[in-house]
């Protein structure tokens, strides 16, 4: 099954503290955004890419796409104030009403095998998200005091990609928008509809480039992938 990927890339990356969009920072002389785009450019099952960008960065990004021979971007739309708004803008520009995958442009190390598993599960069941098991002991804390140790067996850390049948994500986004509901991921919007969202086990190296430490980790992961 072919799919379209929606890539929100309109953040400011405040936590990175780089003074510019963190997606323009380079790992091995290649911008993070291009690393992520290459995963989908090289996946024969990906038929198109939709990007959400900041208006003032659009021309720069378009030049970047040409320079790095990225050919599958079919639409570039203006992102919103929150990530969810950027994803909804991408969805509205999607030419494909089959399976859509939402993926943070700031996660350049996603593996093709996980993407394909997500697409297959979404095709069969409607919605699937990449996730890894919680590794640490998890506790609920209020005002600096532990309230409860949460059973780790049932806890998963959720990543992107998140894959959906188009109609399901469109309904979830439309209702969230109407209700001014802001979720922390797309799965949350689908959960609100009472629909099931499946887990696909991903890898711990599918990290989101968020802080300066993540850039160091990113170099290590790239070295490992090259071996």
* Candidate list 41, 62, 82, 205; residue touching ligand C5P; CB under 6 A: 82
Interactions with ligand C5P, residue window 18-47 (CB under 6 A): 23
SS3 annotation, the chain: CCEEEEEECCCCCHHHCCCCCHHHCEECCEEHHHHHHHHHHCCCCEEEEEEEECHHHHHHHHHHHHHCCCCCEEEEEECCCCHHHHHHHHHHHCCCCCEEEECCCCCCCCCHHHHHHHHHHHHHHCEEEEEEECCCCEEEEECCEEEEEECHHHCEEEEEEEEEEHHHHHHHHHHHHHCCCCCCCHHHHHHCCCCCCEEEECCCCCCCCCCHHHHHHHHHHHHHHHC
Q: Shortest distance, CB of residue 181 to ligand C5P, whole angstroms?
A: 16
Kindly state the number of chain residues that form the binding site for ligand C5P, as judged by CB under 6 A: 17
Question: Would you count residue 86 as binding ligand C5P (CB under 6 A)?
Answer: yes
Question: Would you count residue 52 as binding ligand C5P (CB under 6 A)?
Answer: yes
Question: Would you count residue 79 as binding ligand C5P (CB under 6 A)?
Answer: yes
* Candidate list 61, 105, 130, 168; residue touching ligand C5P; CB under 6 A: 105
Query: Considering only 4-12, 70-78, 164-172, 175-183, which stretch makes contact with ligand C5P by CB under 6 A?
Result: 4-12
Residues that bind ligand C5P (CB under 6 A): 8-11, 23, 52, 79-83, 86, 104-106, 208, 210
């Amino acid at each position: 099954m072919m799919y379209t990927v929606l890539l929100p890339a309109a953040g400011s990356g405040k936590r990175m503290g780089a003074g510019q969009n963190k997606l323009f920072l380079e790992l091995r002389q290649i911008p993070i955004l291009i690393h992520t785009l290459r995963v989908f450019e090289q996946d024969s099952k990906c038929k198109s890419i939709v990007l959400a960008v900041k208006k003032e960065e659009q021309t720069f990004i378009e030049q970047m796409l040409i320079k790095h021979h990225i050919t599958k971007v079919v639409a570039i739309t203006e992102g919103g104030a929150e990530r969810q708004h950027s994803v909804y803008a991408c969805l509205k520009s999607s030419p494909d009403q089959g399976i859509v995958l939402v993926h943070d442009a700031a996660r350049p190390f996603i593996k093709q095998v996980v993407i394909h598993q997500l697409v297959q599960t979404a095709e069969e069941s409607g919605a699937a998200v990449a996730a890894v098991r919680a590794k640490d002991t998890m506790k609920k804390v209020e005002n600096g005091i532990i309230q409860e140790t949460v059973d780790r067996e049932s806890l998963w850390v959720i990543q992107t990609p998140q894959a959906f049948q188009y109609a399901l994500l469109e309904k979830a986004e439309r209702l969230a928008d109407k209700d001014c509901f802001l979720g922390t991921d797309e799965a949350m919007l689908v959960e609100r509809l009472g629909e099931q969202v499946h887990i696909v086990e991903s890898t711990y190296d599918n990290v989101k480039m968020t802080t300066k430490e993540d850039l160091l980790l990113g170099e290590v992961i790239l070295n490992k992938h090259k071996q």
